Amino acid sequence: MIKPKEIKSLLEREPRFEDSYCSIQAIPKMPTIQLKEIRALVSYARRFNDEVVRPLALKADLRTYQDPEYLPWDLVQKVNDWGFYTMFIPKFFGGQGWALPGLNYVVEELASACVGIANVVFVHYLGFGTILASWNIPLVNKICREVAEGERTGNPCLITLAITEPGAGTDVEEVELVDRGKVTCFAEKVKGGYIVNGSKIFISMGHVSRWHGLVAYTDLKKPSENTVMLAARTGMKGLTFGKHEDKMGQRACPASELIFEDCFIPDENVLLDSRTMRKSRLRDTGELVNQIIHYVVEASRPAVGAFGTGVARGAYEHALKFASETAVDGKLLINHEWAQIMLAEMYKNVIAGRLAYCEANFSNSLKGGIFNFLQVKPLYYYLKYIPQFVIDMFFVPFYKLKLVDWFFHQVYVEGQSLEAQKRCSGWSSIAKFFGTDMGMKNSQMALEMMGQAGLRHDHGAEKILRDSKLLQIYEGTNQLNRLNLFNCLIARSVPQAHVFEEEQEVKKC
């Protein structure tokens, strides 16, 4: 029997405890009111699904086949009117400031009705997360205030992340791999800013967004040590849009090409460059870029896991409805044992996908993760009840002080220990590849159960399968995420294990 006085020594003996049970560590730090808020958010998302998403999902998908030039401006307008683009932006920056850990539950809800439209809403937060991770407070504030203004005036302002290039996809997601990729987006430092040349592809919502968190390189031969992150604005001279992809799924959400031709981006739009790095305690540029990439994906990958969980749920709901209404061999399908086993398996996949992204959320809410930002007691309560005008009057004037962005940078980017980063990043990868694999699995099972009926466009099930596949590819392919999990949570306890090795070294082995 364990005696109470033994608890302390038992915990000390278990250094990896936080890896396995993130929620146990995090829950006591979370404000209880968040639970109510998150339930209210989910309920709001369900209303949005009923009134906007479900009536539009199939129509938007079909329209992109009929009209390849179609861009979802009307949809963006509706999302803007419903307030989704400022929902999770902190009040510090003029947003509504709802609990950030609520984001993934809302993501799942929307994705259960249409993951393409869910992406029209949420890829904006990938862009937001990227600019926030720089902790360049005046710039973050400027961009977020434009988003808020866009919501007030009915003129939507969205943010993207532009990292993928024609010759480098997986490679640009990991600092250890980037030198192997064929990156071509070149940023030349000139007086007062950077001149950018090159292109980015597959940028979700590129054509309909106003701000783009752009990753470029000042030396294409050694990009890992010469990365800059800039905020490009639609309308800047030298930034144009090429084609948007004719892809198999998530067709409501365009994937755009961004072309930079002698595009001048002023110093005030620099999110990260060598000057930011000079004030960093991190050893070198690669280390800081690595830290920032992980900081962003720690939040964005669980969100993609929530997309996958939502898809898995949508597929399950289609299969359940079909089984409840269709007779096979003289009795309803739902009363055949094999169908019951399949439905039970699909149900389990949804629940397990949700548990994975919840644990990743909790891991992120512990010291250092992006969700930690303003979500812990007592700051959360304080901000919740303080009126917006007080923030605008007494906080915003100080944002220009260098000390402010230095402070946030120290607390959030550099304040996250390597150990905490590995835990958050490892968990974010688990949530991503598990949730999206479950999405794929359930959509296949739904089609198996539905037979020819599942293949008809008007039933919606085949669209779920097409939409689902894309989730396994973006936000780091599922292969890359498995490697990242190995790197973050497995390799550290096995000294002879090496991940992302140089090709020559692999050959030598």
Ligand X SMILES: Cc1cc2nc3c(=O)[nH]c(=O)nc-3n(C[C@H](O)[C@H](O)[C@H](O)COP(=O)(O)OP(=O)(O)OC[C@H]3O[C@@H](n4cnc5c(N)ncnc54)[C@H](O)[C@@H]3O)c2cc1C
**Residue closest to ligand X, measured at CB:** 169
**CB nearer ligand X, residue 61 or residue 173:** 173
**What does the DSSP 8-state code read for residue 369?**
S
Between 62 and 473, CB nearer to ligand X: 473
Type and span of the H or E element at 307: helix 285-325
Give the integer Cα–Cα distance in Å for 162 and 184. Answer: 13
Binding characters for ligand X, 115-154, by CB under 6 A (x = yes) = --------x-------------------------------
What is the Cα–Cα distance from 233 to 381, expressed in whole angstroms?
34
Closer residue to ligand X in complex, CB, 75/342: 75
What residues are paired with 328 via a beta bridge?
331
**Shortest distance, position 167 Cβ to ligand X, whole Å:** 8
The residue among 97 and 198 lying less far from ligand X, judged by its C-beta, is 198
Which residue among 470, 485, 488, 489 contacts ligand X (CB under 6 A)?
470
Q: Does 477 bind ligand X (CB under 6 A)?
A: yes
The torsion of the CA quartet 83, 85, 90, 91, rounded to 10 degrees, works out to -40
Q: Which stretch binds ligand X (CB under 6 A): 227-235, 266-274, 308-316, 477-485?
A: 477-485
230 is a contact residue toward ligand X (CB under 6 A): no
Distances (CA, A) of 378 to 31, 106, 289: 8, 24, 31
Residue range at the interface with ligand X (CB under 6 A); choices 7-15, 285-293, 385-393, 469-477: 469-477
Bridge partner residues of 194 (DSSP): 189, 265
Q: Tokens 């799942």 label which residue? A: 108
- In the complex with ligand X, which residue's Cβ is closer, 182 or 400? 182
Q: Which of 204, 227, 364, 443 forms a contact with ligand X (CB under 6 A)?
A: 204
Six-digit token string for 157: 């302002």
Nearest C-alpha neighbor of 221 from the set 181, 190, 163, 259: 181
Sign of CA dihedral 268, 270, 272, 273: negative
Least distance between ligand X and beta carbon 423 (Å)? 22
Least Cβ distance, residue 171 to ligand X (angstroms):
6
CA 383, CA 14: separation in Å to the nearest integer? 36
Q: What are phi and psi of 474, to 5 degrees?
A: -85, 170
Each residue 251-290 as x (binds ligand X by CB under 6 A) or -, in order, gives ----x-----------------------------------
Which of 88, 92, 186, 202 binds ligand X (CB under 6 A)? It is 202
User: Which range in 87-95, 198-206, 457-465, 490-498 contacts ligand X by CB under 6 A?
Assistant: 198-206
CB of 486 to ligand X, least distance (A): 11
Nearer to ligand X, 22 or 252 (CB): 252
CA distance 361 to 25: 12
The answer to whether residues 368 and 417 touch, using CB atoms and an 8 Å cutoff, is yes
Q: Cα–Cα distance between 216 and 187 in angstroms, integer?
A: 6
* Shortest distance, position 296 Cβ to ligand X, whole Å: 11
Tokens of 228: 């800059």
Determine the interface stretch with ligand X among 49-57, 103-111, 362-370, 471-479 (rule: CB under 6 A).
Answer: 471-479
| Eight-class DSSP state of 333 | G
Choose the stretch contacting ligand X; rule: CB under 6 A; options: 162-170, 273-281, 359-367, 399-407: 162-170
- Nearest approach in angstroms of CB 104 to ligand X is 18
**Cα–Cα distance, 487 to 363 (Å, whole number):** 17
Q: Is 224 in the site for ligand X (CB under 6 A)?
A: no
| Minimum CB distance to ligand X smaller for 340 or for 479 | 479
State the Cα angle at 253 between 250 and 257, rounded to 5°. 115
Decide whether 368 or 476 has the Cβ nearer to ligand X. 476
3-state class of 422 per DSSP? helix
Structure tokens at 277: 């790095």
DSSP characters over 108-148: HHHHHH-HHHHHHHHHHHHHHHHHHHHT-HHHHHHHHHHHH
By CB under 6 A, which span of 163-171, 234-242, 281-289, 429-437 interacts with ligand X?
163-171
Complex with ligand X: residue 34 or 160, whichever CB lies closer: 160
Q: Which of 42, 177, 195, 396 binds ligand X (CB under 6 A)?
A: 177
Query: Residue numbers of the site for ligand X (CB under 6 A)?
Result: 123, 160-164, 169-170, 173, 177, 202-204, 250, 255, 470, 473-474, 476-477, 479-480, 483
